Amino acid sequence: MGMIGGGSDAFIGAVHRIAALMDGQIELVCGAFSSKPEKSRTTGEELFLPPDKVYGSYQEMIEKESRLQEGERMDFVSIVTPNHLHFDPAKLALEHGFHVVLDKPMTFDLSEARRLKKLVDETGLVFCLTHTYTGYPMVKEARYLATSGKIGQIRKVYVEYPQGWLSTSLEKTGNKQADWRTYPKRSGMGGALGDIGTHAANLAEYVTGSKITKLCADINAVVAGRVLDDDASMLLKFENGASGVLFATQVAAGEENCIKIRVYGEKGGIEWKQDDANSLVIRWMDQPVEIRRAGGNVGYLSSFALHNTRTPSGHPEGYLEAFANLYRNFTLTVRAKMNGKEPKAEWLDFPGVEDGVRGMLFIEKAVESGKSDQKWVDVGD
């Protein structure tokens, strides 16, 4: 793996590295960690990389690595830069034959997203978009239950992502995370919409196996002086006839990061939330509540849930393991392709370029709806 972005003070870069390394199947072999060469260099040192494997720019890295032989060169790139710096390195990597892991939201705007999808489709390379929450085993179990008819035809979907960290003008205090996320030239059209709204929308579409077809949004910049939205609520309609509600806010003061989804079918409902990530609550009509629990030894779980656990039940796995599951499944798929083998369904179960297009569409349509007097906006494909 070669990494683009992720200098030593970046939150998500460190997370990507932990996730990639945890299972002992991926090695960090090179990096272009920052547009500032000095910072890239010191980050490389901290990561025990030899100096010649720390590049001054992603262009240099992709070009030089592509001239090396398989086994010597990196097998894929992981891109963890701010949104406006997603498309170019991804494009260059794909053009040079490298598989790509890319942080979400996929691109700066929808147009870039569609171009990237075209490129992925044409090259046939493996592409992973890190919608972390779909990596949790109990989210996979939720999807299994919702899409296999176990809870009957789906009627209602409620998904929420409350955060509070942008309740004040944090971006004016020098906080780097807050800075780029609230700055349109780096973040794109969406603030909270892009940062966490896309996670919520992706989770809803993943768990239900159904697309959002219409939305009606109330989009706000709550904190004075903020240009991009920090708060979004919307009514949803789904392809399968279900309706629902999504909210994503970064001004719910005191809230941490507890993304949560509830899906109700004719026969029962399922609930998952990150704060109790190893449980899946299933409520049935006229039967006791059922709680399924993550764990490699749990006989009643689906193969998708089991494949994404490392420990027996009662040994809580969390955010980093969910993230690592994306890397693991991506890697298993890459390796299968490199070995000319057919990847298993469980390996292919990671978010890809189509999810990225959906995310950018979601942002654009939500922003459009927020400005409209009409109730419903069609989301399209």
Site residues for its own copies, 194-233, by CB under 8 A, read: 216, 218, 220, 222, 231, 233
Strand order in the sheet with 2-4: 30-32, 2-4, 76-79, 99-102, 127-129
DSSP state of 343: P
Provide the minimum distance between the beta carbon of 125 and its own copies in the complex, in angstroms, as a whole number: 23
149 binds its own copies (CB under 8 A): no
Element housing 332 (H / E): helix 319-338
315 binds its own copies (CB under 8 A): yes
150 binds its own copies (CB under 8 A): no
288 binds its own copies (CB under 8 A): yes
**Of the candidates 31, 89, 135, 244, which one interacts with its own copies according to CB under 8 A?**
244
**Of the candidates 69, 173, 339, 374, which one interacts with its own copies according to CB under 8 A?**
374
Q: What is the DSSP string of 141-189?
A: HHHHHHHTTTT-SEEEEEEEEE--TTSS-GGGGT-HHHHHHT-HHHH-S
Provide the minimum distance between the beta carbon of 354 and its own copies in the complex, in angstroms, as a whole number: 26
- Is the Cβ of residue 124 or residue 339 nearer to its own copies in the bound state? 339
- Is the Cβ of residue 122 or residue 266 nearer to its own copies in the bound state? 266
**Of the candidates 140, 292, 307, 328, which one interacts with its own copies according to CB under 8 A?**
292
**Of the candidates 111, 148, 243, 303, which one interacts with its own copies according to CB under 8 A?**
243
285 binds its own copies (CB under 8 A): yes
Give the long-range contacts of residues 274-277, CB within 8 A, separation 24 or more: 274/133, 274/136, 274/319, 277/136, 277/138, 277/316, 277/317, 277/318, 277/319, 277/322
**Of the candidates 1, 4, 10, 28, which one interacts with its own copies according to CB under 8 A?**
28
312 binds its own copies (CB under 8 A): yes
Both tokens assigned to 152 = 């009957």
- Is the Cβ of residue 11 or residue 60 nearer to its own copies in the bound state? 11
How many amino acids of this chain bind its own copies (CB under 8 A)?
Answer: 91
Angle at 137 between CA 121 and CA 157, to 5 degrees: 80
C-alpha distances in Å from residue 169, one per residue of 88, 124, 186:
30, 43, 17
Q: Smallest Cα–Cα separation from 262: which of 361, 155, 356?
A: 155
176 binds its own copies (CB under 8 A): no
**Of the candidates 66, 169, 257, 302, which one interacts with its own copies according to CB under 8 A?**
257
23 binds its own copies (CB under 8 A): yes
97 binds its own copies (CB under 8 A): no
- Is the Cβ of residue 167 or residue 213 nearer to its own copies in the bound state? 167
Radius of gyration over every alpha carbon of the chain, rounded to an integer in angstroms: 20
Determine the 3-state secondary structure of 26 from DSSP: coil
Both tokens assigned to 224 = 């004075």
- Interface residues for its own copies in 318-357 (CB under 8 A)? 318-321
**Of the candidates 29, 47, 336, 348, which one interacts with its own copies according to CB under 8 A?**
47
